[in-house]
Amino acid sequence: MRSHYWGCSTFADWLRGTPKPGAATSEGWSTWTKQAKASHPYRYWLADTGLDFIQTIVYWPTDKLYGIKYYINNRWVTRTHALTSSSLPKGEWRDMDYRILHSLFDELVNYVEVELAWSNIAWNKEDRIKYNVPFYAFGWFRWRTWRCPQAGLDHLAWASELKNNDEYVAKDDPEYNKPTRQAVAAMEVAALYDWWKNTHPVRPDPHDASGWSEICDRRREGEDDDYIMWGDRTDEERAESTAALNRCTEIEQQYEDEDTEMLIRLIKIRKSLWT
The Cα–Cα gap between 171 and 45 comes to: 36
pLDDT at 230: 53
Q: Render pLDDT for 87-104 as a digit per residue (tens, 0 to 9).
A: 999 888 999 999 999 999
pTM exceeds 0.85, yes or no: no
pLDDT at 98: 92
**Predicted confidence (pLDDT) at residue 14 exceeds the cutoff of 80:** yes
pLDDT at 104: 97
Q: Which among 111, 103, 201 has a CA at the least distance from the CA of 156?
A: 111
Q: How is the chain split into domains, by residue range?
A: 203-263
The Cα–Cα gap between 62 and 57 comes to: 10
189 close to 273: Cβ distance less than 8 angstroms:
yes
Taking residue 168's Cβ as centre, other Cβ atoms within 10 Å add up to 15
Q: Please count the residues of the chain.
A: 275
The Cα–Cα gap between 30 and 7 comes to: 17
Q: Which among 274, 272, 275 has a CA at the least distance from the CA of 183?
A: 272
Q: Render pLDDT for 234-273 as a digit per residue (tens, 0 to 9).
A: 888 889 989 999 999 999 999 999 999 999 999 999 999 9
228 close to 220: Cβ distance less than 8 angstroms:
yes
User: With bands split at pLDDT 50, 70 and 90, how would you rate the model's confidence at 228?
Assistant: low
26 alpha-carbon distance from chain centroid = 24
pLDDT at 193: 98
The Cα–Cα gap between 55 and 50 comes to: 9
Average pLDDT value for residue range 1-28: 81
